[in-house]
Structure 1
């Protein structure tokens, strides 16, 4: 997996220019499979000053990598057992429940210091965040916090459900007016493209920073930073009727040539690509035949010139021809899952690490 850090930088700059407020760097899921550490350092080098991870351990790694300057927040919040270390390392919790808010209030009383925190107000997701009925109890406890922002998360911005998005913004705004004053953080990647009325003061574009298309039915306005290649380790000639792979789910309908690639579901190339996906050599496609194994995948190269594929040749899994979206749709998932899986399973190499483009 080859990751172009300059493309990530350009994506972030484009998103930041779309808002009049702050653009946060969302680097959860190991930077959506692209490498949290390297991507975060590249983003910091062009001015990103607010980073959000999902897990506390990732926030600690970010602090070690980025140094004492930027704000780093944990979307899942910080457990009572980790609160002391969070304070020591200047990690900001996102408060998702009254229980978490009580913990922060207790720490604030014990240390005689207000605790920086983002306050998540649930407005439709019913996942994380304070419910509206929690606000009365939350209001006095918030005196113990230095509230960085009130945040909510769009439930259906991906589906361009503008009515629900506007309702969520309205709910957030009304609730925040009754609480200690602080900025609002609203738009995710898809929300950023639905207009500034839905942005709030801090936007949180995660997937679009990493090249995942934020538009449901349009060409991707972002750059895909990753190219994933798999080497050919064997070329075989099959007779008519010869099977390929576990359970013999594909048989050669006539004499065929196949190439065996050193990639499989152990590398994040999902098993459902079997008899469904394809790869590219140059600009020529080769369909996956048979089941995808843990470490190996077979592709039919019969339609390609014999000189086009040989041991050591590289097959494009993701790149200039095969988009993130195509990889995901082939196996009936979203781009997040497909690219994170490949990022975890494939060895990563980084280019343009010092670029400020």
Structure 2
């Protein structure tokens, strides 16, 4: 997996230019499979000042890598056991429940200091976040916080459900009115593209920073930073009727030339690609045949001239021809899952790390 850090930087700058407020760097999921540490350092070089991770341990890694400058927040929040290190490393919790708010309140009383925190108000997801019925009990506890922002998360911006998006903005605005004054953080990647009235003061575009298409039914306005290649390790000639792979799910309908690639589901190339995915050599497609196995995938190269594909040749898994979206749609998932799986399973190399935009 070759990751162009310059593309990640340019994507972030484009998103920054679309909002009048703060653009946060969302680097959860190991930077959506592109490498959290390397991507975060590249984003810091171009001025990113607010980072969100999902897990506390990732926030600690970011602080060690990025130094004392930027704000670093944890979307999952912080436990009481982690509060001492949270304060020592200047990590900001996102408060998702009354229980977490009580933890912060107790620590604030012990230390006689207000604790910086983002306050997550759930407005439709019914996942993390304070529910409306929590507000009355939460309000007096917020005096223990230095509230960085009130945030919510769109449930259906990806589906361009504008009615629900506007309803969520209205709910967040109304619930924040009686609370201590603080900015609002609303739009995710898709929300950024749905209009400035949905942005809030802090936008949190995660997937679009990493080149995942934020538009449901349009060409991707972002750059795909990752190129994923797999080498050919063997070429074979089959007779009519010869099977390929586990359970013999494919048989040659006529004499065929096949190439075996050094990639499989251990590398994030999902088993659901079996008999349905494709790879590319020199701009031309070769279909996946047979079952994708743990470390190997077989493709049909019968349509290629014999000299076009050879042992050591590189097959494009993702790149100029095969988009993130195509990879995901082939296996009936979203781009996040497909690219994170490939990013975890493939060795990563980084280019343009010193690029300034």
TM over 0.5: yes
Aligned equivalent of 1:162: 162
| 1:218 correspondence with 2:190 | no
Please state if 1:76 is matched with 2:76.
yes
CA shift at 1:308, angstroms?
1.0
> Residue in 1 aligned with 2:107?
107
1:236-251 alignment, distance < 5 Å? 236-251=236-251
Q: Does 1:145 align with 2:124?
A: no
**Equivalent runs, 1:35-74 vs 2, <5 Å:** 35-74=35-74
The CA RMSD over aligned residues, in Å, is 0.3
Question: 2:244 & 2:16 partners in 1: Cα distance?
Answer: 49
Give distance in 2, aligned partners of 1:227 and 1:307.
24
Distance of 1:93 and 1:320 partners within structure 2 = 39
What residue number does 1:25 align with? 25
Residue 307 of structure 1 and its aligned partner are, at CA, apart by: 1.1
The residue that corresponds to 2:179 in the other structure is 179
Match of 2:188 in 1: 188
Shift of 1:40: 0.2
In structure 1, how many angstroms separate the alpha carbons of the residues matched to 2:314 and 2:154? 40
> What per-residue deviation string (whole Å, max 9, x for no partner) do you get for residues 242-268 of structure 1?
000000000000000000000000000
Partner of 2:351: 351
Report matched runs for 1:127-146 at 5 Å. 127-146=127-146
Q: Using the alignment, how far apart are the partners of 2:313 and 2:166 within structure 1?
A: 51
Give the match for residue 276 of structure 1: 276
Deviations along 1:131-182, one digit per CA (max 9) or x if unpaired, are 0111110000000000000000000000000000000000000000110000
Moved over 4 A (4+): none
Where does structure 1 lack aligned partners over 5 or more consecutive residues?
A: none
1:52-105 CA-to-partner distances (Å, cap 9, x unmatched) read 000000000000000010000000001111111001000000000000000000
**For each residue in 1:198-219, what CA deviation from the matched residue of structure 2 results, as whole angstroms up to 9, or x when unmatched?**
0000000000000000000000
Q: TM-score, normalised by structure 1?
A: 1.00
Structure 2: where are the runs of 5+ without partners?
A: none
Q: TM-score, normalised by structure 2?
A: 1.00
| Displacement after TM superposition at 1:302 (Å) | 0.2
